[in-house]
Amino acid sequence: MKTAITKARGSIADLEERARSSVGLTLAEALRYATRWRGKTVVIKLGGSVLDQASDATLEDVVLLQRAGLKPVLVHGGGIEISRMLDRLGHTPRFIDGLRVTDADTMEVVEMVLAGRVNSRLVAGIEAAGGKAAGLSGKDGSLLVARPHPSAGSLGHVGEVERVAPDVLKAMVEGGFVPVVSSIGTDRAGTTYNLNADDAAAALAVTLHAEKLILLTDVDGVLRTEGGESRLVSELDLPTARAMLESGEVAGGMIPKLKACLTAVEGGVESAHIVGARDPDGLLIELLTDRGIGTMVRSRAVRSVRNAARSNGNQLPGIESAIAASEEHLFGNYAREPVAFSHGCGTHLWGLDGTKYLDFIGGIAVSSLGHAHPSLKRAIREQAERYLHVSNLYHIPEQAEAARLLKEVSGFDRAFFCNSGTEAIEAAIKLARKWGSLRRGSAVPEIIVAEGSFHGRTLGALAATGVARYREEFEPLPSGFRFVPFNDLEAVESAIGPDTCAILVEPVQGEGGVIPAKRDYLTGLRELTTRVGALLLLDEVQTGVGRTGRWMAFEHYGIRPDVVALAKGLGGGMPVGALLASGEVAELFGPGDHGTTFGGNALACAAALAVLRTIRDDDLLERASSMGRRLAAGIERTAAENPVVRDVRGLGLLLGVDLTIEASSVSTACRERGLLLNAVQPRTLRLAPPLTVSASEVDAALLILREVLAEASSGDLHAN
């Protein structure tokens, strides 16, 4: 009993993990389906390329479904392989209305291929995936009793299912086996018939009172042509399906499939599905998500969930209209990529057209826990149910708790919360100026900042940003900033003076191209500021909260700044920024000195708390370090074989890759192959995947990047 429970728990965990990582399904969704269907039969007909290649992923999913408590029954034909064998034996395959003309010789070949080769290959595949399978043909135990097809005269040994005797199948299922049935039957006289596998699957589904019939095939589902454009139909009720058959709207190989769906649903099967087998996750997506991937036939279109979910996730025009709406209604201040998403999960995002992406930019180093992380979702939901916002007129326990946790992980004394990176920098500038005027008696306090830096877009942060092109056209900007070259301690030493109230730098210049500060530089800045009584302000908006494999990037340098600014990863996608300080500096602001209506509201702080706790409890600093090393090492291997890559640098999971070619063409080509990253500088790529990224995701990203760079170096890259 205990073993059974442990096993069941393990299976649910497997299902959850697989569903989360490949299908974009939440735990709640996966469990909802798995629980609803525990003990229910699902008949799955394997056709098309799945059958040809006996796709490992599909067979693994079958095993997974069984472990999660469902009862899968597999049925297969063997179309392509039979034709190949006949071809080899010098027979020319002939079809009438999608049915194979089968004379006695052909029938022998059919049986040999189906019951012999294909069946045993599938059984072996399931066993290899850790399942138990038993192969049988419809002849065994008179499982599929057949009679000649009505047009058998011209079709030879082509039969249709007359009756199903399911005892043998039931015994196998009870014994814990996944039955794998080849679509051959016999009549009472012992004559063997070649059965259409879709029909056989439908007949089995009806007799077994299956919950679902799934036809995995080479096409995506039923297509409908409207206005000259073919669209995949996500859901059909029986009358519509019948009408489509009668009107001739469906043709060729789709006819027996849709007919089989009708037979199944008319026979009491809850729903029948035609699903493209090209997506290795197609089976799970169709079975375990509301949106599905193919065409579902059921007696009535009971719920519009599927269409609603799909219209948000599977139609190309969705993307086009999303882009058009953006262009029509929004300011043109972003050069957006031509993609929009329906949902995400972990390191994956799904485009509105259903394309699955590996997200290695994470909302520009923001999605620290990946997408739709259960803890973050729960925290946001629970807080939203209590209250969102009351303003800083009152005490906000979530804010104080987030501050306490930030103190615990960073060693600072106090926190101030705001909504973004640029606001954290504004607060830091004001704090530094107050320090300058109070402690250094300076009338015109000055902050030393670095060339190539990026601190934000509001006027103060912009004035501190060391890239002229961001500032030009927006002058006059606040004065009081002195620029010196980055990583040049001597330049700072010569610039520092009696009015210097602070030095503001990024430990890794992120937007500048992922350029880490040199160790001597940062330790030198610390000594220098301490000596003259100025503050050392670190902008860790991009590097803070675990991104570099430590809570704060300054830990890599063995120094402690006076003030640190955080944002991006802190809320894991909720807009929240923070300023941390200690001692006297943390006491500088009095009531009325600074503030923000939204800053640190309960919702944002509940999210920050969930992020901080998850990073701490799930050991994500260690993961960020090890995955960062794996990613960097992989890119370095590519660099060794490909001269297009000039340099790889960064800390933890914030990496920059210098190229000899335009980075945007590489990032576009990566995106077209399902990998999201960004061209942070004209010749530099930036990678900032979630801190939760797995080794296999890193390897998958490396593979794409390597291929794209190989094409780039051979001059074959034609990114649009």
Q: Rank residues 436 and 575 by Cβ distance to ligand PLP and give the closer one.
A: 575
DSSP states of 651-693:
ETTEEEEEESS-HHHHHHHHHHTTEE-EEEETTEEEE---TT-
Tokens of 570: 């802190």
Shortest distance (Å) from residue 506 CB to ligand PLP: 5
From the list 140, 279, 281, 539, the catalytic residue is 539
Asked if 103 is an active-site residue, the reply is: no
Nearest-angstrom CA–CA distance, 635 and 642? 10
From the list 454, 481, 483, 486, the catalytic residue is 454
* Cβ 578 vs Cβ 538: under 8 Å: no
* Cβ 695 vs Cβ 688: under 8 Å: no
SS (H, E, C) 223-276: EEEECCEEEECCEEEHHHHHHHHHCCCCCCCHHHHHHHHHHHHHCCCCEEEEEE
- List binders of ligand PLP among 497-516 (CB under 6 A): 506, 510-511
* Cβ 58 vs Cβ 277: under 8 Å: yes
Amino acid symbol at 667: S
For strands 684-687 and 654-659, give the pairing: antiparallel
159 lies in the binding site for ligand PLP (CB under 6 A): no
Exactly one of 37, 193, 454, 551 binds ligand PLP (CB under 6 A); which one?
Answer: 454
Q: Rank residues 16 and 511 by Cβ distance to ligand PLP and give the closer one.
A: 511
* Cβ 20 vs Cβ 1: under 8 Å: no
Amino acid symbol at 502: A
Residue linked to tokens 């262009």: 327
- List binders of ligand PLP among 16-75 (CB under 6 A): none
CB neighbourhood size of 53 (10 A)? 12
Q: What Rg, from alpha-carbon coordinates, does the chain have?
A: 31
Shortest distance (Å) from residue 539 CB to ligand PLP: 5
425 lies in the binding site for ligand PLP (CB under 6 A): yes
Q: Rank residues 351 and 628 by Cβ distance to ligand PLP and give the closer one.
A: 628
- List binders of ligand PLP among 529-548 (CB under 6 A): 539, 541-542
Stretch that binds ligand PLP, among 63-71, 188-196, 419-427, 696-704 (CB under 6 A): 419-427
Asked if 167 is an active-site residue, the reply is: no
Q: Rank residues 420 and 548 by Cβ distance to ligand PLP and give the closer one.
A: 420
Q: Total residues contacting ligand PLP (rule CB under 6 A)? A: 14
Residue linked to tokens 């009015």: 499
Question: Residue 589: phi, psi to the nearest 5?
Answer: -75, 125
Shortest distance (Å) from residue 498 CB to ligand PLP: 28
For residues 461 to 490, the per-residue mask of contacts with ligand PLP, x marking binding by CB under 6 A and - elsewhere, is ------------------------------
Amino acid symbol at 359: D
Nearest-angstrom CA–CA distance, 228 and 225? 6
Tokens of 260: 């089989």
Residue from 128, 284, 157 nearest 120 by CA: 128
Shortest distance (Å) from residue 379 CB to ligand PLP: 21
Residue from 591, 526, 536 nearest 565 by CA: 536
Stretch that binds ligand PLP, among 153-161, 421-429, 514-522, 639-647 (CB under 6 A): 421-429
For residues 556 to 595, the per-residue mask of contacts with ligand PLP, x marking binding by CB under 6 A and - elsewhere, is -----------x----------------------------
427 lies in the binding site for ligand PLP (CB under 6 A): no
Exactly one of 192, 347, 420, 596 binds ligand PLP (CB under 6 A); which one?
Answer: 420
Shortest distance (Å) from residue 9 CB to ligand PLP: 41
Q: Rank residues 284 and 567 by Cβ distance to ligand PLP and give the closer one.
A: 567
Q: Which residue is nearest to ligand PLP (CB)?
A: 421
455 lies in the binding site for ligand PLP (CB under 6 A): yes
For residues 609 to 648, the per-residue mask of contacts with ligand PLP, x marking binding by CB under 6 A and - elsewhere, is ----------------------------------------
Q: Rank residues 235 and 506 by Cβ distance to ligand PLP and give the closer one.
A: 506
666 lies in the binding site for ligand PLP (CB under 6 A): no
Helix runs in 330-420, H state only: 362-365, 374-386, 397-410
From the list 257, 259, 434, 568, the catalytic residue is 568
DSSP code for 291: S
Q: Rank residues 72 and 510 by Cβ distance to ligand PLP and give the closer one.
A: 510
* Cβ 233 vs Cβ 315: under 8 Å: no
Asked if 539 is an active-site residue, the reply is: yes
* Cβ 519 vs Cβ 557: under 8 Å: yes
Q: Which residues here bind ligand PLP, judged by CB under 6 A?
A: 420-422, 425, 454-456, 506, 510-511, 539, 541-542, 567
Active site residues: 454, 539, 568
